[in-house]
Amino acid sequence: MTVGTVPAPRRRGLLGLGGGGWALVLPLVLFLAVFFLYPLVQMARESAAGGFAAYESILTSPVYRKVFGNTLTIAAATTAICLVLAYPYAYVMNRVSPRMRLALMAFVLLPFWASLLVRSFAWIALLQDSGLVNQALQALGLTDDPVSLIRTTPGVLIGMVHIMLPYMVLPLYTAMARVDDRLLLAASSLGANPRRRFVRVFLPLTLPGLAAGCLLVFTISLGFYITPALLGAPSQAMVGEVIAEQVEQFGLSTASALGIVLLTGTLVILVVIALLAKRLGRSAR
């Protein structure tokens, strides 16, 4: 295989072939085909094993409709809370001294690297009726009786926001770091007050990071299993929990069908939002 008339291609294959790159990529492609794609295809076949009965029961039963509703609500609430907490945090990170910035970054990264289960049971210990959070609330006189926080929707939200917050802070931080300070100075010198400067200049410039963060948090939240199973109310189960439950009860075809619905939903949301963001970015330019 030669590249034709081009005398010295910039990156010719090292193995003496134009296709040397392919030989190096092949093992990865084969591995993912066998252990990633094939299981998903197998799952799709499993889900349609009894015709479309599994899908019919999922789409018509009020139980599953409630589960999908819960999943969307919890994922949306997690995204919103993460955004509210992460935006000022990322903003401050961009405005403090380098040493302080490193500390704030470490606070974000340490939980990111700490075990998911350790954090989940730490929340159980903190939020239980006799836990530190309830003790603090009672000491402050905010409540007389302990507030139930585990096995409730607020409990799941606390746990999920804690896990997803880094995924929101990091893209926002990057987007804000890219904003040219001279644009803000220009806005001020043209007479914009801080609020106007923020709404008309800073916010639009950080919109791509904001969109990326929200997309990441929302789509990852849809598939959560561990946190809602440990901190959430059993009556407010998310799709992930129901899938695992079905596998335990050998309902592999229902589990597979639920999985395919969740996967398709996630991918559709990813594609739609990515396309929207592209269009937005283009019109902003």
Partner 1 sequence: MKKPPVRWVALTAATVLTACFLLLPTLVVVPMSFNGSSTLGVFDGTWTTRWYDELLTSPAWRTAALNSLQVALGSTVLSTVLGTLAAWGLSKLGVYGRAIQGGSIAPVVVPPVILGVGLYSVFLTWQLNGTVLGLILAHTVLALPFVVIAVGASFAQLDPVYERAAASLGAKPFQTLRRVVLPLLLPGVVAGALFAFVTSWDEVVVSIFLTDAQTRTLPVEMWIQVRTQVTPTLAALGTCLLLVSSLALIAMQVLRRSERDA
Q: Which of residues 127-156 bind partner 1 (CB under 8 A)?
A: 128, 130-132
Q: Does 3 bind partner 1 (CB under 8 A)?
A: no
**Among 61, 115, 143, 249, interactor with partner 1 by CB under 8 A:** 115
DSSP 2: -
Q: Does 83 bind partner 1 (CB under 8 A)?
A: no
Q: Does 99 bind partner 1 (CB under 8 A)?
A: no
DSSP 144: S
Cβ–Cβ < 8 Å for 214, 168: yes
Q: Does 177 bind partner 1 (CB under 8 A)?
A: no
Q: Which of residues 241-260 bind partner 1 (CB under 8 A)?
A: 243-244, 247, 252, 255-256, 259
Query: CA-CA distance, 125 to 121, in Å (whole number)?
Result: 6
**Residue 13 identity:** G
What's the distance, CA 187 to chain centroid? 34
Interacting span for partner 1 (CB under 8 A) from 19-27, 54-62, 72-80, 202-210: 19-27
Q: Does 206 bind partner 1 (CB under 8 A)?
A: no
Q: Does 168 bind partner 1 (CB under 8 A)?
A: no
Closest CA to 204 of 187, 226, 191, 227: 187
Min. distance of Cβ 283 from partner 1 in angstroms?
Answer: 25
Q: Which of residues 33-62 bind partner 1 (CB under 8 A)?
A: 35-36, 38-40, 42-43, 46
**Residue 57 identity:** S
Query: CA-CA distance, 45 to 53, in Å (whole number)?
Result: 13
Q: Which is nearer to partner 1, 63 or 271 (CB)?
A: 271
**Among 222, 228, 232, 236, interactor with partner 1 by CB under 8 A:** 222
Q: Does 7 bind partner 1 (CB under 8 A)?
A: no
Query: CA-CA distance, 253 to 125, in Å (whole number)?
Result: 36
What's the angle, vertex CA 76, arms to CA 75 and CA 79, rounded to 5?
85
Q: Does 23 bind partner 1 (CB under 8 A)?
A: yes
Q: Does 275 bind partner 1 (CB under 8 A)?
A: no
Query: CA-CA distance, 95 to 105, in Å (whole number)?
Result: 13
Q: Does 75 bind partner 1 (CB under 8 A)?
A: no
Interacting span for partner 1 (CB under 8 A) from 57-65, 85-93, 172-180, 200-208: 85-93
Q: Which is nearer to partner 1, 26 or 59 (CB)?
A: 26
Query: CA-CA distance, 159 to 121, in Å (whole number)?
Result: 10
**Among 76, 111, 179, 205, interactor with partner 1 by CB under 8 A:** 111
DSSP 140: T
**Among 63, 177, 185, 284, interactor with partner 1 by CB under 8 A:** 185
**Which helix (H) or strand (E) segment is 168 a member of?**
helix 153-178
**DSSP reduced 3-state for 142:** coil
Q: Cβ contacts of residue 58 below 8 Å, gap of 6+?
A: 64, 254, 257, 258, 261
Min. distance of Cβ 24 from partner 1 in angstroms?
Answer: 3
Q: Which is nearer to partner 1, 205 or 252 (CB)?
A: 252
**Residue 67 identity:** V
